[in-house]
Structure 1
Amino acid sequence: MPRASRSIFVNGNPELVFKITNDIPRWTELYTNMSATRVVSLERDGRFAKIVFELTNKEGHVWTAWRILDFKERIAMSRREAPSYPYNFHHLTWRYELAEGGKGTQLTWTDDFEMHPDSPIKNEVSLEPMLEHMGESQANFKKVTEEFINNNQIKTIFDVE
């Protein structure tokens, strides 16, 4: 089973970076390959939230996924559901830690996945493209999240009026 993991520094406090980067409607700005998002459901009970959502990439592929957020530990766990193809499974964990020196956020993404046997992309060659895509995505997340923070665009779907 391939495992891809990358980290990046984001100039912002971990709580705020966590909320902004898990705000699914912002993903069309945070991801360069995402054209549409739709939150199907959002349930929040204190420390935890569960989001079920639909994503559409620029090629028009649509899938649903769920995401469990732990606001205390600042961990997001997610799984691609339907359709799962080209994966047999794809589980993601994002961790948000106070960066060394006490300022900023160390954001680490870990993807555990297995390619579907019918996929033209095989497990043996899937890791390098996954790591490349992860690095490109994280660079855009950093840029856009820091812009949101600097422009005080910090209200998210988790903020109750």
Structure 2
Amino acid sequence: MSARTDNEIVIAAPLNVVWDITNDLEHWTELFSEYAAVEVLRREGDTTTFRLTLHPDKDGKVWSWVSEREADREARTVWARRVETGNFTYMNIRWEYEETPGGTRMRWTQDFEMKPEATMDDAAMTERINRNSKTQMELIRDRIEQRVREGVEA
């Protein structure tokens, strides 16, 4: 079985500003509330391989994995996939950016499948990703819009 999530938000900022801030991996710990660390492992052209580490769970467990991202600024699209899949059979994420009258629409589409032995199934993970995506997108929107208001665009 497989699953898909599709979440979007409009950010009141120019597309280039949203692109630059959301693709500055080294500063994701300042943009996302869930990441404790980001370590860039390799860059080749527009492709970056990096390790993400989450803040510890309530029980102290720390989740970490390696992902690969390929950014295509001209197409306003980023493709990402987990290299270290953990509980996922696979996890692919597409980020899309589109200029709108209100600023920039940022959309995340995630295609994935949970391993049979994972602690949650596709439906439970879909619910979790949708809830977390909404939270993180709103936080990103608020942080970017604040930077634009303060005149700190990138």
Fold-level match, TM-score > 0.5? yes
Q: Paired residue for 2:94? A: 93
Identity between Structure 1 and Structure 2 (%):
25
> CA RMSD of the aligned region, Å?
1.4
The whole-number CA distance in structure 2 between the counterparts of 1:129 and 1:14 is 28
Q: What SS does the aligned partner of 1:90 have? A: strand
The question of whether the paired residues in 1 share the 8 Å contact of 2:65 and 2:86 is answered with: no
TM-score w.r.t. the length of structure 1 is 0.86
Residues 23-81 of structure 1, C-alpha deviations (whole Å, 9 max, x = no match): 1112112111110111112233xxxx111111110022221111000011110110011
Letter in 2 for 1:124: A
Q: Structure 2, unaligned stretches of length 5 or more?
A: 57-61
The question of whether the paired residues in 1 share the 8 Å contact of 2:99 and 2:105 is answered with: yes
Quote the offset at 1:20 in angstroms.
0.8
Q: Paired residue for 1:32? A: 33
Q: What SS does the aligned partner of 1:73 have? A: coil
The runs of at least 4 aligned residues of structure 1 exceeding 6 Å deviation read none
TM-score w.r.t. the length of structure 2 is 0.90
Q: Map residues 18-29 of structure 1 onto 2, 5 A cutoff.
A: 18-29=19-30
The question of whether the paired residues in 2 share the 8 Å contact of 1:15 and 1:74 is answered with: no
The whole-number CA distance in structure 2 between the counterparts of 1:35 and 1:126 is 21
Q: Please state if 1:55 is matched with 2:52.
A: yes
Number of equivalences: 148
Q: Map residues 1-161 of structure 1 onto 2, 5 A cutoff.
A: 1-44=2-45, 49-59=46-56, 60-82=62-84, 84-99=85-100, 101=101, 103-155=102-154
